[in-house]
Amino acid sequence: MFERILNRLKSPSRVSFDDGSYIEFFNREAIVYVEHDGHRMEVVWYFQRGRIKGRVLNICNIDNWDPPHDLEPLSSEKKEEIERKIVEYCRRRRIPVEINRPSGVGPS
């Protein structure tokens, strides 16, 4: 609990989750998803057309871990978990988000 409060003070753009993972703002075009064991992924997102604050997340951008874990496969369940956490991150930060996915792809 105390560690979570310290993390918020250090990085107000970070949203932490109960399993030890977190998401934080990386730059205008990306956020970073990090798991407690060191797995890390930069996820590119885009501004919504005509909106200043809203974002568009293409599910295909949740694709692989950063090195040194980049050769490890990313299961569809893990991709869905990361998607849910990104949606929660946006909810907590009050960022409107639109999820784009190819036809027939989505959480079960």
| Mean per-residue pLDDT of the chain | 85
User: Nearest-CA neighbor of 65 among 100, 21, 28, 7?
Assistant: 21
Task: Kindly list the domain boundaries of the chain, sorted by start residue.
Answer: 2-100
Q: What is the pLDDT of residues 10-29, one digit of tens each?
A: 556 899 999 999 999 998 88
Q: What is the pLDDT of residues 36-80, one digit of tens each?
A: 999 999 999 888 776 667 888 999 999 999 999 999 999 999 999
The whole-number pLDDT of residue 108 equals: 44
The whole-number pLDDT of residue 27 equals: 87
CA distance 36 to 11: 16
- The widest CA-to-CA distance across the chain, in whole angstroms, is 43
